[in-house]
Amino acid sequence: MFRKKKDPVEEVLLPVPTVLPPVEELEQEEEQSAKRRPRTWLWTFITALVVVSLLVYILVLGALGIYDGLKDRSLENQRLAQEYYAQGVTHLEAKEYEKAIGEFTLALRHDSSLAEARTLLREAEEMARAQATPTSETRRDAAELLYRQAVAHYESGTLEQAVVVLEELRGLDADFQRENVQTMLVTAHYQLGLNAVMQDRMDEAADHFEAVLALDPEYEDAQDQLNLVTLYMAAMSNWDRDWSAAIQGLKGLYALAPEYKDVQARLHDAYTLHAEAYAAEGDWCRAADEYSAAVEVLPLEATVDLRDDARIRCQATAEAPTPTPTSQARATARPTATAAAGAQSTPTPTPTGAVAAVGSGRIAFTSYDAVRQRYDIYVVDLAQGDARLLRENASQPAFSPGTSRLAFHNYDPMHLGLGIVTLRNNEYLELTDHVEDSVPVWSPDATQMLFASDKHGDRKWRIYVISPEVQRGEGEEWAFGQMPAWSPQGDRIAYHGCDERGDNCGLWLMQPGGFSPTRLTTDASDTAPAWSPDGKQIAFISARAGNWEVYLVEVASGDVTRLTDHAAADVAPTWSPTGKQIAFLSNRGGSWAVHILDVKSGQVREVIATGDAYPDPVSERLSWGP
């Protein structure tokens, strides 16, 4: 059981007196304490003073230590800032802008007062922004967006926009969906080329087909379409200017693709208009021939009537007396190619009187037969006045020094490329085996041969050198360019070329080996150079005046003189061995023929007709030997 505690107040009850007795001992202690108090405060004060002094001393020593530490740390920061600054300058000069930014930032972190670092930091940041490229993730996102846009354009048939977006995609990331991008580009360009052909935008069509071949050089359909466009454009470029050339181009195109565009109607109209031109001159026999050719292409009743009328007039003209030739009569008999390949035969005799009067030596030239679409090489003897076949299925003749051998471009299907034939025994050497190899040129000592070719996949023309004793060789590449010509001294080579960027095209000179190329003329159309025998002048052709003419440039000064001035085309210049005359090809008489120019007097005389119009007259070559 718990026991109840008693209240303490109730437990002790003492009476409280009214007056308390004095406490004597307590009063005595207070008096003694009062006497001792002054001495205690003094010691307390002294003690406190000592303590304060010690604290002040400690604080002073601490402050001095901190100051010295801060001073040392500041010096170290300045030293580090200078090191970072120097490294930043090095990175900035090396165009490593991100590294430079990092170094300058560290420099300022250690010394914010380094004004040079702040200035160069801003410069590095600006340069970094200027050359900033998207991150791989950003680039991929952009590439995916462009790809989706290109596919949308492609599938909707807006091929022009598809090509633009696809090219932009290739510029951003050439490897993104590479195969699909190329397939779409090839298909789009090909279809755009066909569309352009249908809309008579032939230049644009050629650009599209060339773009296809640049992406896929093995695309045969695109190559075929480009060939057709090129033939059509070449024919139409001569429309109403040179009916023979226009007809020749259209005939080749018609034989190759009779259903192509309006080639049948065009060829018919070209024959008819050419006939009208002959009729206007009173040459009814030629007019009848042209009308007859037009009827064979497209037998329209109106054309048949014109043909019959021209034949009647031709018969009436034939019964009239023939005028006596003047002293300026020209040797215009056309050579015929009837000999077997490689054989030499004499075609229809050529008049000799006029030929003998214009010079001496032998001129090798190419005749083109439009019906058979074949090139043949003939040589005309200026003294004897006759022309004979040297080589069938061949063009671009080049006599060796001394004329004992002839180099040429071989069109024989079994021997495509460059060939050399020994004229004495008809021994043949197959020098190269690429059909693209062309324009062979002998060195002065006949130990080397230059030629031009675009046989590489990039379709760029290059100049090569090869030994004339090699069988099926490739040649050593010397330079980009074409139509080379070796100087008589052997120290320089003239050629049609451009600078390293493909600009500033014209005639250039270089040393053998492709060294020290220098520009000689300034017009991009200048080509087909031919050295004078003394090596001081170069004859060449140029379209700088609107059509192909023969010009002369002084090698030392670069001064250019125009030698011919005719509405027709003058091409393929070559010098006589004496250096007094220049032979060239021209269609100024209505058909292609060899002409000879007297350099001093400027007099031009026709030597011999060469045949039908050349498909590419600018690439033709003459060779004049003793």
pLDDT for position 125: 83
**Contact between 163 and 192 (Cβ < 8 Å):** yes
Amino acid at site 376: D
Residue 179: strand, helix, or coil: helix
Interval 366-394 mean pLDDT: 89
The pLDDT tens digits of the residues spanning 181-190 come to: 999 999 999 9
Give the tens place of pLDDT for each residue, 484-516: 999 999 999 999 999 888 889 999 999 999 999
Is the CB of residue 618 less than 8 Å from the CB of residue 571?
Answer: yes
Residue 551 contacts residue 570 (beta carbons within 8 Å) = no
25 CB-contact burial (10 Å; exposed 0-12 / middle 13-18 / buried 19+)? exposed
What's the mean pLDDT in 5-14? 44
The domain locations on the chain are: 353-625
| Residue that wins the pLDDT comparison between 482 and 76 | 482
Structure tokens at 264: 């049948």
* CA distances in angstroms from 125 to 46, 88, 101, 132, listed in the order given: 66, 12, 7, 10
CA-nearest of 365, 530, 516, 512 to 448 is: 512
**CA distance linking residue 242 with residue 244, whole number of Å:** 6
CA distance 7 to 620: 147
Provide the pLDDT confidence category of residue 16 given band limits of 50, 70 and 90: very low
Q: What is the pLDDT of residue 353?
A: 34
Q: What is the pLDDT of residues 508-544, one digit of tens each?
A: 999 999 999 999 999 999 999 999 999 999 999 999 9
Nearest Cα to 463, choosing from 422, 491, 428, 495?
A: 495
Question: What is the reported pLDDT for 418?
Answer: 97
pLDDT tens profile 321-331: 433 333 333 33
Residue 444 corresponds to which amino acid? P
The reported pLDDT for the residue numbered 73 is 66
- Flag whether pLDDT at 332 surpasses 70: no
In whole angstroms, give the CA distance from residue 581 to residue 589.
20
The DSSP letter of residue 619 is: G
Calculate the CA dihedral of residues 83, 89, 95, 96 and round it to 10 degrees.
20
pLDDT score at 124: 85
Which superfamily does 353-625 belong to?
Answer: TolB, C-terminal domain (2.120.10.30)
Q: 230: helix, coil or strand?
A: helix
Predicted local distance difference test score (pLDDT) of residue 51: 67
- Pair of tokens at residue 136: 């791989």
Which conformational region is residue 575 in: left (phi greater than 0), alpha (psi within -120 to 50 degrees), or beta? beta
